[in-house]
Amino acid sequence: MRIQWVPAGTEAHPSSRIRVYRVNAALQGRAGIESVIGSEITRGADVCVLQKVVDAGIISRAREMSRVVLVDLDDPTKIKKYADSLKVADAVSTNNVGVVRGIERDFGLTAHIVPDCVDYVSSPMPLVNTSQKVAWFGSPAMLAGALPLLRKAREAGFDVTTIGKQFCTSEFRRVDWSLETFPSELRKCGTSLLSHRGYESRRKSPHRIVASIMIGVPAIMVGSQSAEFLEDASGARVSATDEGDAIGLLRRLQIPSERERQIGLCQKFAVDNLVPGVIAGRLLRVFEWVLAERG
């Protein structure tokens, strides 16, 4: 099977990294699979995956030169933005139930749920030591909703660090984010404190909390249905209903046995279900199904 990936951004772009680049890397060396990334589409691809692509020329070439076209989307609020690619698609992959409903309702396409793969690392790292240092990382839009939470953590006696670009406020200590240094910088902190409150959709992917836990840093997420799902699936407490609940859980995660429990349960769930190799296998089954349907 020959697979052509056309990502929306570079490897520095989170959704492209976890939906395209890391999955493509996991496919390298698999028997019978040729998997490449690039916008220069050549004839002969069995599957062309368009990850949030809006360029009309790329969309046209994908349909002309590939047996099947699969569109990958992760935001239920922006489906119509990708209408041109959806009109030529044979199917859709997504990490979001909201996308499934919108696609089936508005475009009559089959949408397959494929979770985000683990970011940054492919195998679990050891649990870090207990520390009063708390880390936040995310996008500019997420930071606005997280500020009340981070201020409460500071008031409770925790030392808050933000890991990000220049958009991060000077209110807290800031460390520059880079793909190469993020895991080591995060491991200098004892816990990650994250929030989806006020940010787009509570169904936003839990990939950041999964990344932290796989890096060995216990994590808490406020205002996230996806974190609630992770909690139910793994059996570990990771989700907080509000800022006060989060600070209570943060204090609880200073207890070594609680830290070990969260990391152990969540890392097992991620290894079994979310590492790049597992997600690559899941996508291959989707590709095989779409190819069979196409005939």
In a domain, 128, yes or no: no
- Tokens (6 digits) for 31: 């028997």
Bridge-based pairing state of the strands 34-37 and 2-6:
parallel
* Residue 124 lies inside a defined structural domain of this protein: no
113's tokens: 């749920």
Sheet arrangement for strand 2-6 = 34-37, 2-6, 45-51, 66-73, 91-94, 111-113
Q: Nearest 5°: phi and psi at 222?
A: -105, 140
> Residue 164 corresponds to which tokens in the numbers above?
């990000």
One domain, residues 110 and 223: no
* Structural domain harbouring 42: 2-117+275-294
Same domain for 48 and 172, yes or no, is no
Please give the tally of structural domains in the chain: 2
Taking Cα atoms as reference points, which of 118, 124, 126, 125 lies closest to residue 26? 118
Considering the domain architecture, whether residues 100 and 195 belong to the same structural domain is answered as: no
Across 77-93, b (16+ Cβ under 10 Å) vs e yields eebeebebbbebbbbbb
Closest CA relative to residue 93, chosen from 108, 77, 76, 71: 71
> Are residue 112 and residue 22 in the same domain, yes or no?
yes
Distance, CA of 85 to CA of 70 (rounded, Å): 9
Q: Are residues 97 and 48 in the same domain?
A: yes
Q: Are residues 101 and 166 in the same domain?
A: no
Residues 73-122: tens digit of each pLDDT: 988 778 999 999 999 999 999 998 888 888 999 999 999 999 999 999 99
Residue 281 and residue 260 share a domain: no
Check whether residue 137 and residue 265 sit in a common domain.
Answer: yes
Identify whether residues 162 and 216 lie together within a single domain. Answer: yes
Structure tokens at 27: 């496919």
**Is 226 a domain residue?**
yes
- Claim to verify: residue 113 and residue 18 sit in the same structural domain: yes
* pLDDT, tens digit only, all 295 positions of the chain: 999 999 999 999 999 999 999 999 999 999 999 999 999 998 999 999 999 999 999 999 999 999 999 999 988 778 999 999 999 999 999 998 888 888 999 999 999 999 999 999 999 999 999 999 999 998 877 888 889 999 999 999 999 999 987 767 778 999 999 999 999 999 999 999 998 765 444 456 789 999 999 999 999 999 777 888 899 999 999 999 899 999 999 999 999 999 999 999 999 999 999 999 999 999 999 999 999 998 7
Residue 122 covered by a domain: no
The domain that holds 173 is classified in CATH as 3.40.50.2000
Instruction: List, in sequence order, every residue forming a beta bridge with 51; answer none if it has no partner.
Output: 72
Which residue shows structure tokens 């196409």? 294
Q: Is residue 80 in some structural domain?
A: yes
Looking at residue 250, its amino acid is L
**Secondary structure (3-state) at 162:** strand
Residue 87 lies inside a defined structural domain of this protein: yes
Residues 30 and 63 in one domain: yes
In a domain, 123, yes or no: no
Residue 50's nearest CA partner among 60, 104, 114 is: 60
Q: 156: buried, middle or exposed (CB in 10 Å: 19+, 13-18, 0-12)?
A: middle
- In this structure, the answer to whether residues 262 and 279 fall within a common structural domain is no
pTM: 0.92
Question: What is the chain's percent helix, strand, coil content, to nearest 5?
Answer: 45, 20, 35
